[in-house]
């Protein structure tokens, strides 16, 4: 799994998880290799349909694996036109792969915190099925959206290390807010409907200021 190493065959999601588990036994995260693994897996809805839970009001985050504490792997479900806030990634690696439909990624620079100003898009990428993308805080901020208003989208996200809070940004003013991230379902089962709390206390929900939740991230 060193840089330049050939990726093994990845015929289904279980094989992908096994290969990722092996990578994350080491402390160093080889971004190129993990991206290649995600690319090697060709989306098959039979693998991930049990995690694909949609909500008509917001996109959902559905936990697939806690990666032995090294990472979180999750399926995000985007109904027509749903989008995330502009957000950071809490210093973690963020890998994503489109499993169904398409997603638009809008990238932004970190705003100047000393003044209120509108955040402008630096880069726009349209990700199609099986495309893989990567971001971390040193590369900037982003916002994800399902640009299609007639079809849903599904994506696979890997965050390492996992995190329970990130920063979201108001596009008009650059105002920053801390947001806790939550799971709609865990291992294919609906998370607590009262609180959306994950069993792991580090996954507790609730937006600190506005009662909103981010998600994707
Ligand atoms: Fe993100």
**How much is the pLDDT for 76?**
98
How far is ligand 1, taken at its centre, from the CA of residue 64, in Å?
Answer: 17
SS3 label, residue 38: helix
**Ligand 1 geometric centre to CA of 163 (Å):** 12
CA of 87 from ligand 1 middle (Å) equals 6
Phi, psi of 95 (to 5 degrees): -105, 145
Task: Write out the chain's pLDDT in tens, 217 residues.
Answer: 455 578 999 999 999 999 999 999 999 999 999 999 999 999 999 999 999 999 999 999 999 999 999 999 999 999 999 999 999 999 999 999 999 999 999 999 999 988 889 999 999 999 999 999 999 999 999 999 999 999 999 999 999 999 999 999 999 999 999 999 999 999 999 997 644 444 443 333 333 333 334 445 4
CB 158 within 8 A of CB 128: no
Cα-to-centroid distance, 86 and ligand 1 (Å):
8
pTM of the model: 0.87
Secondary structure class of 9 (helix, strand, coil): coil
Q: How confident is the model at residue 186, as a pLDDT? A: 96
Query: What element of type H or E holds 143?
Result: strand 141-145
Q: Which of 189, 198, 196 is nearest to 212 (CA)?
A: 196
Cα 106 to middle of ligand 1, angstroms: 10
Give the separation between CA 47 and CA 16, rounded to whole angstroms.
Answer: 11
Structure tokens at 34: 């993990």
Residue 69 falls in which region: left (phi positive, over 0), alpha (psi -120 to 50) or beta: left
The pLDDT of residue 193? 61
Distance 194 CA to ligand 1 centre (A): 25
Give the bridge partners for 73, in sequence order. 65, 158
How far is ligand 1, taken at its centre, from the CA of residue 159, in Å? 9
Q: Ligand 1 center to residue 89 CA distance, Å?
A: 6
Q: Phi first, then psi: what are they for 68, rounded to 5°?
A: 50, 35
Distance of alpha carbon 201 from alpha carbon 208, whole angstroms:
16
Cis? peptide before 161, omega within 30° of 0: yes
User: How close is the Cα of 164 to the center of ligand 1, in Å?
Assistant: 13
Distance 19 CA to ligand 1 centre (A): 23
């Amino acid at each position: 799994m060193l840089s330049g190493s050939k990726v093994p065959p990845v015929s289904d999601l279980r094989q992908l998880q096994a290969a990722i588990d092996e990578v994350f036994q080491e402390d160093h995260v080889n971004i190129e290799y993990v991206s290649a693994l995600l690319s090697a897996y060709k989306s098959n809805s039979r693998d991930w349909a049990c995690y694909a839970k949609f909500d008509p009001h917001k996109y959902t985050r559905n936990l697939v694996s806690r990666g032995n504490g090294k990472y979180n792997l999750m399926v995000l479900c985007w109904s027509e036109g749903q989008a995330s806030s502009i957000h950071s990634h809490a210093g973690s690696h963020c890998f994503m792969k489109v499993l169904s439909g398409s997603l638009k990624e809008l990238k932004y620079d970190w705003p100047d915190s000393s003044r209120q100003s509108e955040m402008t898009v630096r880069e726009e990428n349209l990700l199609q099925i099986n495309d893989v993308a990567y971001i971390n805080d040193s590369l900037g901020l982003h916002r994800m959206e399902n640009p299609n208003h007639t079809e849903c989208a599904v994506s696979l996200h890997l965050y390492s290390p996992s995190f329970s809070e990130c920063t979201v940004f108001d596009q008009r003013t650059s105002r920053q807010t801390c947001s806790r991230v939550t799971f709609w379902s865990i291992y294919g089962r609906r998370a607590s409907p009262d609180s959306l709390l994950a069993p792991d206390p580090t996954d507790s929900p609730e937006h600190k200021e506005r009662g909103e939740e981010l998600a994707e991230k």
